[in-house]
Structure 1
Amino acid sequence: MPDTTQMLRALPPMLSGEQLKQELADLPAYTGEIREKDPAARLLGLSDLYRVYVPSRMSAEIYSKLYLAMIRSLQKKGTKLAVEQRNENAKGAHGQEYRGILGGSDSFTVIGTSGIGKSSAISRAISLIAGNRILEVQEPYTRVVPCITAQCPFDSSVKGMLLEILRKIDEALDSRYYETALRSRATTDMLIGSVSQAALNHIGLLVVDEIQNVVNSRSGKSLIGALTQLINNSGISICMVGTPECMPFFESAMQLARRSLGLQYGPMGYDEGFRELCETLFRYQYVKEKAEITPAILEWLYEHSGGILSVVVSLLHDAQEIAILTGREVLDLETLRQAYQQRMGLMHDYIRPAQGRQTSRKKKEENTLEMAGAAEKPGEEVPAHSLEQMADRARREGLDVVRLFREQIPIEEVAV
């Protein structure tokens, strides 16, 4: 059996805190001199905006989850159970009956709204954990890829998923598992045995992206079942990444729910993290006139992006592109509005600035506190409450809403 301590020593130490944040960040080099160059050079440089990565709490959590899952998987490869499992998998690859010995529920999910940066966070974490290194053990000689990322087939084909895993192994190790599987015309059951053997020998952590494809496919549950069998027969950890639309699918049965425990994320809140992100992105200006980010711009960006990171980046990129092409040469609210209207039309149904804005709710809360404070000061007139606030108060306190309205605004009753 391989000495897993050699593999574990080859991995970089686990990071945390400020050091982790610095290592995860990706800030392309930028100097203000580029604003003096011709429009073509500035438009080309503007694409660097898409490379900017500012770590968040989500980034740190995903890094920790992936690192620990990979360690658990590597530790299993040096056990006696792993030797027994290799013998069982060899039977399965030849069409004989075999069983899972390693077992374990080493699967988890990373589920979040589209565009919030899940894939980027996973990519940054994997590059920090493993980079392009291959872990090697001399006695017996074994090579292990710390992490492999595969995409769930659009039709949730079990065979397609298994072949994709073999292809990714071949891509990393220059092996011939994929070609051999195609040539042998193996059945799905035999293929699961072959993939389990290859995963046990050569994979630390498997990341399956776009797992929401299982929702609208008749083969969805079969694919999750195949991944479960792969966990039991190989002992590797599997991370499934998708959007919230897959949640009802996993919640529909106990055996699916067990396999979907993990991390869940929504859009960013209007908080310090969002402000830090926008301030960092705002430094990358390629228009001639340098502008400073203001509270009004911050609020506008949040309301017109819904807290979705990719939308914020697209707005700042397209606003500068429009400013350069039209000769306006400034990044301000006017160019941002043009970018939203001209370039983000398909997103308007998903981002409604006038409804449910978090920034607007905060303002309402502040106004309510101000009115409460004013009521405590004798001799000062209390501002009239909005109809919505009065209706909420009547419902909450069991008051007569008409009488409450009459106290604040003139009401004339008409007989019908």
Structure 2
Amino acid sequence: MNNLIAQMPPMLYGKELDEALTVLPPYDPDIIHADAATRLVALSNIYRVFLSNSMAREIYSKLHLGLLRSLSKKESPLMPRQYVENQKAIQMVESSGIIGGADSFTIIGPSGIGKSTSISRSIQLLSKTPVIVTEKPYRQIIPCVMVQCPFDSSVKGLLLEILRTVDGKLGSDYCAKAIHARNTTVDTLIGSVSSVCINHVGLLVIDEIQHIVGQKAGGALARYLMQLLNSSGISVAMVGTPSVIPFMSGGEFQLARRTLGLYYEPMEYGQAFRDLCTTLWRYQYVKHRAELDEPMMHRLFDFCQGNPSVLVGLLHDVQECSILSGREDISSDLLHAAYQTRLRMLHQHITPARKPSTSRVKQTVSIPKAEPVEVPEQVSIAAIVKDAKKGAQDIVSCLKRQIPVEEVPV
């Protein structure tokens, strides 16, 4: 174990971690004096900006600890026995999981809040050594392998994608052998993938896991993932949107237990959002620089509703429109125009908060309570109304002839 763990990069924390996660592309303030074409090309740098936050720090810690547990299990005395069981599965002989899953968890949150970017930055930090090599026994281990869940929840498609990604890192041919093998079934394929993961994979990240929702093969894919987890001993992180929560939590207890993890929502209007706005605001490519004040930050939050991806896209598009139109500034009306034209497809998902209504409320007139009126026992109001309807007479006039009636204007 010491040989494997020693090759892992040290775990970062605090300010050191924030500096490692943050990405700030270079910016020259004199760019505003360049021609429009040069500034439009440089404007795309705003998409590269990434500011570390609590979500990114938590995701990094979760992935680092998951990788640590996975590498620890690779030194378990049970690992050779599990490898033999996986070979039985390849040969279509009854087999079982011995080593059990090292760890599995989910990272759930709406699209655009920065999950994938946080994961990508974390994997870069964890993969300072692209391939960990051990001598006794000789092994090549990829710290993190990231794949995407097939849109049709194909079990075979996901397993082949794992092999294809490993081949791309190691130069091996596991995927080609699996495709051309005779009598290849999902059961035999999962034995092959489990063996490959035992030997070569530290942490497996499966993105877009929400694709299993609404698919006939979704349940089968989830069950095979649990089998892969138990047969390989690696850590598996499943990343997706909140639409997958009912599927994960509403199934079997085993699936719900294996999919506990992290959940995130769009940013609230607070210091973290202000810091992001301040950082992005520095990347101005219009000729007339605009100042960022509290009302403007409120306006930005109103249009993006705390979604960082939408905020970045809005600040890019408002500058692009301003440069192309010759306005060369950033103003509230240009932000509104960019939201209405460039972000039209998002209107049903992100709606700016409505201003309070300024219409005058009509005055109401209180009606005093009327004194109770004694109705003679021999008088039936229902009978009077019935007789008035039969004779086509005014009901109020008929009532007045029998009992006191007071009319009140409405």
Report the TM-score range of the alignment, normalised by the length of the smaller protein.
0.7 to 0.9
User: What is the identity, as a one-letter code, of the residue corresponding to 1:26?
Assistant: V
Matched residues in 2 for 1:158 and 1:343: separation? 38
Matched ranges for 1:204-243 at <5 A: 204-243=202-241
Matched residues in 2 for 1:16 and 1:230: separation? 32
- One of 103, 107, 112 as aligned partner of 1:106: 103
Matched residues in 2 for 1:73 and 1:201: separation? 11
The aligned counterpart of 2:266 is: 267
Matched ranges for 1:40-79 at <5 A: 40-79=37-76
| Bigger Rg over Cα | 2
SS in 1 for 2:6: helix
Matched residues in 1 for 2:60 and 2:268: separation? 21
CA-based RMSD of the aligned residues comes to 1.7
User: What is the identity, as a one-letter code, of the residue corresponding to 1:234?
Assistant: S
The aligned counterpart of 2:306 is: 307
Residue 264 and residue 339 in structure 1: after superposition, are their counterparts in 2 closer, same or farther (change >3 A)? same
Question: Within the alignment, does 1:170 sit opposite 2:167 as a pair?
Answer: yes
Matched residues in 2 for 1:23 and 1:337: separation? 35
Question: Within the alignment, does 1:279 sit opposite 2:278 as a pair?
Answer: yes
Matched residues in 2 for 1:256 and 1:198: separation? 23
Contact kept? 1:105, 1:259, Cα under 8 Å: no
Matched residues in 1 for 2:148 and 2:271: separation? 33
Q: How many residues align?
A: 365
The aligned counterpart of 2:198 is: 200
Matched residues in 2 for 1:26 and 1:95: separation? 49
The aligned counterpart of 1:396 is: none
The aligned counterpart of 1:383 is: none
Matched residues in 1 for 2:328 and 2:235: separation? 50
The aligned counterpart of 1:347 is: 346
Contact kept? 1:107, 1:238, Cα under 8 Å: yes
Shift of 1:139: 1.1
Contact kept? 2:101, 2:234, Cα under 8 Å: no
Contact kept? 1:170, 1:178, Cα under 8 Å: yes
Residue 263 and residue 415 in structure 1: after superposition, are their counterparts in 2 closer, same or farther (change >3 A)? farther
Deviation per residue, 1:306-364 (Å, 9 max, x gap):
11111000110000000100010012212211110110111111111135x9xx9xxxx
Matched ranges for 1:401-416 at <5 A: 411-413=365-367
Matched residues in 1 for 2:267 and 2:181: separation? 49
Matched ranges for 1:323-338 at <5 A: 323-338=322-337
Matched residues in 1 for 2:143 and 2:134: separation? 13
SS in 2 for 1:238: strand
Matched residues in 2 for 1:295 and 1:200: separation? 53
The aligned counterpart of 1:188 is: 186
Residue 34 and residue 410 in structure 1: after superposition, are their counterparts in 2 closer, same or farther (change >3 A)? same
The aligned counterpart of 1:23 is: 20
Residue 342 and residue 43 in structure 1: after superposition, are their counterparts in 2 closer, same or farther (change >3 A)? same
TM-score w.r.t. structure 1 length? 0.85
Deviation per residue, 1:201-255 (Å, 9 max, x gap):
1000000000000001011111111110011001000000000001111111222
Matched residues in 2 for 1:43 and 1:131: separation? 34
Matched residues in 1 for 2:365 and 2:239: separation? 56
- One of 86, 97, 105 as aligned partner of 2:83: 86
Contact kept? 2:32, 2:286, Cα under 8 Å: yes
Matched residues in 1 for 2:278 and 2:325: separation? 25
Gaps of 5+ in 2: 368-407
TM-score w.r.t. structure 2 length? 0.86
More helix by share: 1
SS in 1 for 2:81: helix
Shift of 1:295: 0.8
Matched residues in 1 for 2:219 and 2:254: separation? 10
Shift of 1:50: 0.2
Shift of 1:415: 6.6
Residue 315 and residue 132 in structure 1: after superposition, are their counterparts in 2 closer, same or farther (change >3 A)? farther
Residue 167 and residue 410 in structure 1: after superposition, are their counterparts in 2 closer, same or farther (change >3 A)? same
